[in-house]
Amino acid sequence: MSVFDFFQKKKTAPVARERLQLLLAHERISPGSDLVSILREEILAVIAKHVEIEGDRLQIRIDRGENVSILEIDVEIPAKAARAA
Amino acid sequence: MSVFDFFQKKKTAPVARERLQLLLAHERISPGSDLVSILREEILAVIAKHVEIEGDRLQIRIDRGENVSILEIDVEIPAKAARAA
């Protein structure tokens, strides 16, 4: 399964919207460090600088496994906003 | 296949290093917008603020498909640097 399949398998946005999906995985040695939560706000701020984010079109999920934490951000972008990029 | 499998399938870093992997996919309508390249530098700058990046431990890949562009960043982090997070 290639990474394209991972992103394809999710319901693609209706034609009039583009979509931005981000996955961030931190494979830790020590349980303490919470890099994923630290990076979350700043990465969101970077994305928000370049695309129009509507509250109900944004999904954020954090999975904290024993050694791996994963941040998932999924944004549907109004097509006109994306074209400005 | 869950997203954990995707990240697990890659060779995990030797024990003394942590690892940060990022995937960013932009599903476009218009071929023109190059959001992934625009976000690449700024996301890297956010990561570099919080972890020590050694040149040879950083891998960056961009795949430009017809409708989907994917950015992949893979960073091995010296364990002591990650603990500061």
pLDDT at A50 (0 to 100) = 92
User: What is the residue-averaged pLDDT of chain B?
Assistant: 80
pLDDT tens-digit readout, A33-54: 789 999 999 999 999 999 988 8
pLDDT tens-digit readout, A5-36: 555 545 555 557 889 999 999 998 877 778 99
The shortest C-alpha distance from B42 to chain A (Å) reads 7
Q: Which residues of B touch A68 (CB under 8 A)?
A: 4, 7-8
pLDDT at B83 (0 to 100) = 44
What is the domain count for chain A? 1
Q: In 3-state terms, what secondary structure has residue B50?
A: helix
Question: Domain with B24 in it: what CATH number?
Answer: 3.30.1070.10
User: What is the residue-averaged pLDDT of chain A?
Assistant: 80
List the one residue out of A60, A64, A61, A63 whose CA is nearest residue A32. Answer: A64
Sheet harboring A58-64: ordered strands across? A58-64, A68-78, A17-27, B17-27, B68-78, B58-64
Structural domain span for residue A17: 3-83
